[in-house]
Amino acid sequence: MHWSKTHSLARFNLATSGVASFPLRELPLNLEALEINGDNSYGYAPLQQAIAAHHGVDPECVVESAGTSMANHLAMAAIIEPGDEVLIEHPAYGPILDVAYYLEANVKRFHRPEENGWAIDPKEVRRSITPKTRLIVITNLHNPTSVLTPESVLREISDIARSIGALVLVDEVYLDAVYENTPPTSFHLGPEFVVTSSLTKVYGVSGLRCGWILAQPDLAWKIRRLNDLYSATPVFPGELLSVIAFQHLDLLRERARRIVEADRKLLRDFLEHQSTISAVETKWGTTVFPRLTNGNADPFLERLRSNFDTSMVPGRFFEMPEHFRIGMGVNTKMFAEGLNRISRALTTLFGQNEF
């Protein structure tokens, strides 16, 4: 997070994970309806209803939070006691790991092997649990690879969790980037599931910090009470704007979709022409996680940034230093030129064919 706030900027910034900002002026909105304070002590009812309707769940199961970041923190803090075992996928989104360490969990990992297309193997999850495992944590879509975990695998994971009285936390912040036949939230698959998400990555309104947790009512209430310590009440104007965003969600989604899909076409073509990188490609999502076949990617990424003004996220942030993450969905012209520059940098360093 610190790196992305301070070091990711370049003219050709492919170190993103979310889509382009949705401009306020394109949101049909009556500014006079905006207010500073309102009735939102444990969340603003119209927003909770909008989130609940989006997922087809009871509003009692919805807890508002400041983005998925706070959602992950609150959910884990409400579930984990110091010393509890928490089983987290590898590779993982760094801040999820950091929250678990911060909460003094005993962090265990299970691998999503690249050679299996980064898929979760429930057998590996079963091998990795112990009677002390309190929580299994995954992202779906997976950050950094955008791989989708199918319902059958999620069901197997919940069976495993149930057998030891554990819960399954699924961060679904990228799930709606599956534009066709978008899978429903895993929250519907059983009471073991706790889900986090937000409007930041797929809808382009990160500034609203509209995030949420889906949890069974008793856990949801515990999380709300815990949040009394952190945020006390949400930011009311943000809640009002978030309700409007939900009313126009298709508009937000389609705008981003056009860019993501155009970028993905360019990415496919680019990857086809590369001999020094390999990647598991997906049909959805805003990121891809290629591997540099020559080894550690850091010197290459440094060169790319200093000589070609182009940035990507180093794989070391996902504990995989031979990889790097490319983000789509911001600006297709910039993306095209960024890919060009990556190709030129690869040619300069490794002498491969230019794209």
Ligand X SMILES: Cc1ncc(COP(=O)(O)O)c(C=O)c1O
When the beta carbons of 69 and 149 are compared against ligand X, the nearer one is: 69
157 lies in the site for ligand X, by CB under 6 A:
no
Pick the binder of ligand X from 12, 44, 93, 300 (CB under 6 A).
Answer: 93
Interface with ligand X includes 186 (CB under 6 A)? no
Rounded to a whole number of angstroms, the minimum distance from the CB of residue 285 to ligand X is: 11
Instruction: Round to whole Å and give the CA distance between 210 and 234.
Output: 9
**Interaction of residue 198 with ligand X, rule CB under 6 A:** yes
CB of 2 to ligand X, least distance (A): 13
Question: Which residue, 69 or 185, has its beta carbon nearer to ligand X?
Answer: 69
Does position 65 interact with ligand X (CB under 6 A)? The reply is: no
Binding mask 9-48 for ligand X (x = CB under 6 A): --------x-------------------------------
Phi, psi (degrees; rounded to nearest 5) at 275: -105, -15
Q: How far is the CB of 186 from ligand X (least distance, A)?
A: 14
Residue 24 is classified by DSSP as: G
Q: Which stretch binds ligand X (CB under 6 A): 62-70, 148-156, 294-302, 328-336?
A: 62-70
Closest residue to ligand X: CB criterion: 67
Nearer residue to ligand X within complex by CB, 74 or 345: 74
Q: Does 64 bind ligand X (CB under 6 A)?
A: no
Name residue 211's beta-bridge partners: 65, 198
> Binding ligand X by CB under 6 A: which of 146, 200, 310, 343?
200
Counting contacts by CB under 6 A, is residue 146 touching ligand X?
no
Q: Does 145 bind ligand X (CB under 6 A)?
A: no
Q: What is the DSSP string of 129-179?
A: --TTEEEEEEESSPTTT-PPPPHHHHHHHHHHHHHTT-EEEEE-TTGGG--
User: What is the rounded distance in angstroms from the CA atom of residue 57 to the CA atom of residue 190?
Assistant: 12
Taking CB under 6 A as the binding criterion, the range among 66-74, 175-183, 237-245, 305-313 that sits at the site for ligand X is 66-74
- CA atoms in the 13 A half-sphere facing the CB of 7: 11
How far apart are CB 19 and ligand X at their closest, in Å? 12
Rounded distance, CA 137 to CA 120, Å?
12
Q: Would you list the DSSP string of 237-301?
A: HHHHHHHHHHHTHHHHHHHHHHHHHHHHHHHHHHHHT-SSEE----SS-SEE--EETTS--HHHH
Does residue 234 belong to the site contacting ligand X (CB under 6 A)? no
- Number of chain positions touching ligand X (CB under 6 A): 13
Whichever of 263 and 341 has its CB closer to ligand X, that residue is: 263
Binding piece for ligand X, criterion CB under 6 A, among 33-41, 63-71, 161-169, 302-310: 63-71
Under rule CB under 6 A, residue 227 binds ligand X: no
Query: Is-contact 177 260, C-beta < 8 A?
Result: yes
Residue 195 φ/ψ, nearest 5 degrees: -120, 140
| H or E segment and range at residue 48 | helix 45-55
Task: Give me the least distance between CB of 70 and ligand X, in Å please.
Answer: 7
Enumerate the β-bridge partners of residue 138: 170
- Report if residue 139 touches ligand X, rule: CB under 6 A: yes
Beta bridge partners of 109: 88
CA dihedral 342, 285, 146, 278 (to 10 degrees): -30
- Contact flag: residue 289 with ligand X (CB under 6 A): no
Residue 224 identity = R
Q: Are residues 197 and 52 in contact, defined by beta-carbon separation less than 8 angstroms?
A: no
Residue closer to ligand X (CB basis): 136 or 345: 136
- Applying CB under 6 A, which residues contact ligand X? 17, 67-69, 93, 139, 143, 171, 173, 198, 200, 206, 211
